[in-house]
Structure 1
Amino acid sequence: MTSKQETLVEVRNLKKHFVVKKGLFGRKATFLKAVDNVSFSIQKGETLGLVGESGCGKTTAGRTILKLYEPTAGEILFAGAPLQNLTHKELLPYRKKMQMIFQDPYASLDPRMTVGEIIGDPLDVHKMYEGQDRTDRIKELIELVGLKQDHINRYPHEFSGGQRQRIGIARALAVEPEFIVCDEPISALDVSIQAQVVNMLEELQEKFGLTYLFISHDLSMVRHISHKVGVMYLGNLVEIADAHELYTNMQHPYTKALLSALPIPDPDLAEKSERIHLQGDVPSPLNPPPGCAFQTRCAYAVQACRETKPQLKDMGNGHQVACHIVH
């Protein structure tokens, strides 16, 4: 992390609602509130980990920040410049600065293109390199992610899952970005390969001063790679703090339940630790409960939780919690 804190990415009150059913003949439209009023910032050179159960809105938040989805409301700032209202043409220079590593290395690579064509495609879009310079850049990227130059003319189906994800990372790095959204980049990989990919991402971050939004449900890996961690539940950010602070001093009942599921290598400590079992199912994002989204599964819910949606409040040292019972 850089010594001087400089905010690179900031989102303010970000919302992304998908229309599920259009309102015809005077009926109200039905919306799925995938991301509902989320705010956070990421400093230059740091990694913000975003965790939560499947369907909590992590990936939608990442895609909305990159304008792959149009935000319903809120602000997206990159190095202080607002992006939310930019046209496709106005956004093009920022596309070069912000890239994405996708979750599925099988689906994110065009099977009809060679590795060289896949990595070279962003260079052509942004008119960055031509001729021999383009070829040299592709070779440089191939070696940077631990692949060989003779892989350039092969097709994605000739590679393992880990190698395909390395190709995806090389493609993201091609245009020399400053910010990369890593959308569960290791979840589709074999466990033995996951650590290799994460270590490579850390090395690339140190070498090029990259800033990451690391989206994952693997809490151990998020703790390893992240400087800060945000916890999402049903489209809401319920807690955010420095990684060490969050894992040693979690405050929100949902965060406590989530982290209690972490495996403990020491059998004696594991036997003494208490697993928090949440009762009930996650409410539908089509019809979230009033007040706190977590109140239907929270053992500590009071009347205020059922009436008023809690806002993030600072508990000190940048540790923010959205909970009525935490003081």
Structure 2
Amino acid sequence: MTRYDLALIGFGGVNRALAELIVERGHDLTAELGFGLRVVAITDLRAGTLVRLDGIDLAPLLAAAELNFSGMAGGSPEPRNEWVIRDVPADIIAEATFTNPADGEPAVSHVRWALESGKHVCTTNKGPAALHGRALRELATRNGVRFEFEGAVMSGTPVLRTARRMFGGLTVSRVEGVMNGTSNYILGRLEKGMDLAAAVAEAQALGYAEADPTADVEGYDVQLKLMILANEVFGASLTRADIRCVGISGITGQDVRDAAGKGLRWKLVGSAARRPDGTVEAWVAPVALPDGHPLAGVSGLMNAVAFHTDLLGTVAVSGPGAGRTETAYALLSDIISIHERCGAKAAAMEGASRV
């Protein structure tokens, strides 16, 4: 039975939820997927670093009210991210740290160190794929490993994998998506009578919006996700400067309610289309969509992407765009993809060599 040793970089909500999946469903997953998972290292900004090459017992960590690795066997008080990524013998690095959207750090460095060390990496961070996607994919190819980032666009909803694997033989002319649940929630509250400031404050109180909601309200989060989606679907090399970006801060509650009275729903939409000359244009802007539009009915924290194709017309993929368990599933789906593309192939080659 194949087993993958994991190093978890960051032990906040997402990697903690991945650890919960391993503890609660590990045996079932092994039976279903044909491989096992063992965590051999964890780093965390507050808890420090924990390394156990024979496998970390995750259950006590998940039950603890507060973690401090320094008092444990194999533990130290500092988050030794680079050392763990480069030197600890793990097969896959699961990267889920807080990252600056302007430069993608520290996640970009984490991914680069992993790939340079010949380790597969999966990340939920947008920065590495959006800002350095092509260079990191090339680095992964040179080192014979995988760089996976399904959770960077729509959390656990497999929009990237759907586009890669299911659209063979189709020509996609345009993609458009509602890819930020926070802004979508806020627009829904405006439709119910709130003003923007009150709707933002409510979203913050519920944990949907950060203390600084700029990335959600001004569309920058969608801009990064659209970069990833457009570059994957169209093979483009868009940068942030290539994507016009307008957020929802200029939309009033009256605008939203007036549109609703006309059968229109305001949504913050990220769109990308291939021009006749083969180049790609992309933009983020609030749009009043008619009720029949495939994105008009996307409500609350849900996300959706519509692909406009030549043979099937419009194909929409919708699902949760946030949530710790949902995003942890994205990491699991990345690990499954790594196994399908690399682990199963290696096992088959090893079996053939024994014949």
TM-score norm. by structure 2 comes to: 0.28
TM-score norm. by structure 1 comes to: 0.30
Larger RCO (alpha carbons 8 Å, 6+ apart): 1
More helix by share: 2
